[in-house]
Amino acid sequence: MFTGIVSDIGKVEQTEERGDMRARISCGYDMAGVDLGASIACDGVCLTVIDKGADWFDVDISAETLSKTNLGGWKSGKRLNLERALRLGDELGGHIVSGHVDGLAEIIAMEDEGDSTRVTLSAPKELAKFIAPKGSVALNGTSLTVNAVDGCNFGINFIPHTKTHTIWGDAQVGDMVNLEIDTLARYVARLNEMQ
């Protein structure tokens, strides 16, 4: 489990096809304190550390994960939002995030408003019903508050801190981002279906 509060910006060093895709990611974490088998959210996708060095770790990415996320587009030099798994007693600053991406949302508009940036995204129809104003979503692993919803489109804001301490300062119209809907919204919708 994660909180959607990005704790490091990593970088893809290399990728390799081995049946699954293997990636090496450089980071600022003290990898001596990260066990093999640990989970690290990489752009919102929960991945398992399978090898590590002083300032890098390797992950394997399955075909299923590649089909649901933007990880298939990873190239050397790509910057990533990273978050280590939540530990008992950690502050829950965002919302409960599983690292199980539901699909992709497309950035369709960006507009600066003061120092912040208002971003409009389009979600797949089957996921849009789970997105509500003032609810939470995880986009590329970042816990964000939904400002507005219009059909399949929804808006969020990036404050200056978010733009400088995550990869969101690099965002552009047309980017496809990993979308994880709020777990609570999923269960509420399921309960409504059962009545």
pLDDT digits (tens, 9 = 90+) for 66-95: 999 999 999 999 999 999 998 877 777 788
Domain boundary, last residue among 84, 115, 134: 84
Global pTM reads: 0.93
Please give the average per-residue pLDDT across 18-31, as a whole number. 94
Q: How many residues does the chain have?
A: 195
| Residue of 154, 157, 170 whose CA lies nearest to 122 | 154
Residue 91 lies in a domain: no
Secondary structure element (H or E) that encloses residue 101, with its range: none
- Report d(CA 27, CA 70) in Å as an integer: 20
> Which domain range does residue 174 map to?
103-194
Are residues 113 and 149 located together in one domain of the fold? yes
Count of domains forming the chain = 2
Are residues 70 and 144 located together in one domain of the fold? no
Residue 89 lies in a domain: no
**Statement: residue 19 has pLDDT above 90:** no
Within 10 A of 162 (CB to CB), how many other CB atoms are there? 18
Instruction: Give the pairing type, strands 45-48 and 39-42.
Output: antiparallel
- Report d(CA 164, CA 173) in Å as an integer: 18
Per-residue pLDDT, 90:
76
Q: Computed over its alpha carbons, how large is the radius of gyration of the chain?
A: 16
Per-residue pLDDT, 41:
98
Domain boundary, last residue among 84, 118, 152: 84
Domain boundary, last residue among 84, 112, 129: 84
**Statement: residue 194 has pLDDT above 80:** no
Are residues 178 and 111 located together in one domain of the fold? yes
Are residues 78 and 115 located together in one domain of the fold? no
